[in-house]
A and B are shown apart, each in its own frame.
Chain A
């Protein structure tokens, strides 16, 4: 098992098999977030906080578009099964203990987004010598950097006054989402010969 993506090709690129598996996972996760944000976004924005929903939707869509175009795709027989597994994990599951169903679903979407944005760090897998001019390398760096910014909306909402009364329900739901996302990401990496940074 390696700790980082590679061995890199002679021009400093990530091998296409690894690109395919990593990009498929990221597209699945960020695509799910984009779909759920699209459903949550009203046609007409009535409140200031909804502008953030709009921003999150288009940033998630950008990640998907970016990976579709920047990845050197190759056939991968395992992707059908894995994609089904991933998509099942992203399904909405209203947070137990919040009686207002729309609030419970919003909290769930936020915990999923927090877990994906905080727990998946694709750029941390790039070796130092990765070609900075390669589109896939740039895409991973951009996704990790922008995820850190997107995360702020989730932190503000989850720590904010609206959910303060539900903190005993929110914290375990968030830790559960983190554990699920972390497990799937670690398994994805192990499938391409990369040991999880948390495995040591």
Chain B
């Protein structure tokens, strides 16, 4: 198990795929760990990408600072991993909290990236997200990791995914419960206490950017992704049909295919963001459909778009 050194801390990482191939770096969400990207490793290496995964500080097998974890340290750790990949094209993707870390890296080091894929992501703490985050932190404090998982599972995954697992949820939750420590999760959440909106900085991201948002994402709804689409010049927003916040877990084959296609299109010079809005196919390999012109993609019912 290889480690990077950042100050006195160790960051566990894993590299797969050919060393001279374009690389995908995948950044975990808050309660995740690197093994959850295994389906992505398989798909992306089969499509001739190198794949880098790691545990953020406070997660999995990486060190868990006892009292404070700063987002700057997470970005520095991500930078160390990217530096390790050499000078070839780098595609960076992250989910939720990891998407935010990826955004912050892209703002500071845009020239290093060939492409960026923020997923279930945000650049601002809207009142709803702020209050939900506070409620999750209180839930963690009062009920531990298990209670936080109980909150997140129904919020972030669909009935279709949950229903067959209802009688074995304890075993579904177990690995996440084992690898996550309450104090480390709390430190990760509290790294938002002095969070400042990234919106004014997003225009610094010039890299091709594909923003992925689940159709039914309740935690980080469409409006938060719209901020990214509007502010990042070379972006497009792709809506994952029937996807919730954790669509990367639930629809891993589809999402990995979209990541591969995005990078292949960028490398071939076929990709054009145009701040466009798309609907992903239901299955890997299907065609993306342009969001119907004239309708408002921020609404859940078909409503004619009002000119800004």
Q: Which of A's residues lie within 8 Å of B, judged by CB?
A: 114-115, 118, 121, 124, 128, 145, 148-149, 151-152, 155, 158-159, 170-171, 174-175, 178, 197-198, 200
Contacts and interface: CB of A to CB of B under 8 A. Distances in A.
B305 interface: no
Interface string B1-43: 1000000100000000000000000000000000000000000
Nearest to B177: A124
Given A124-B178, A128-B171, A151-B183, A158 B141 contact: no
B282 interface: no
Interface string B66-91: 11100000000000000000000000
Interface of B: 1, 8, 61, 65-68, 141-142, 144-145, 170-171, 174, 177-178, 181-183, 186, 190
Contact of A118 (B1, B174, B183): B183
B170 A175 contact: no
Contacts of A149: 141-142, 144
Nearest to A114: B66
Which applies to chain A's interface (DSSP): helix, strand, loop or mixed?
A: helix
Contacts of B1: 200
6 contacts: A118-B66, A151-B183, A158-B67, A159-B67, A159-B68, A200-B1
A148 B144 contact: yes
Nearest to A197: B178
Contacts of A198: 61
A198 B1 CA distance: 12
Contact of B67 (A148, A152, A171, A197): A171
A116 B141 CA distance: 17
B141 A114 contact: no
B106 to A, nearest CB: 30
B181 A121 contact: yes
Given A124-B177, A178-B66, A200-B1, 7 more contacts: A118-B183, A124-B178, A149-B142, A151-B182, A155-B183, A171-B67, A174-B66
A152 B142 CA distance: 9
A179 to B, nearest CB: 10
A171 B182 contact: no
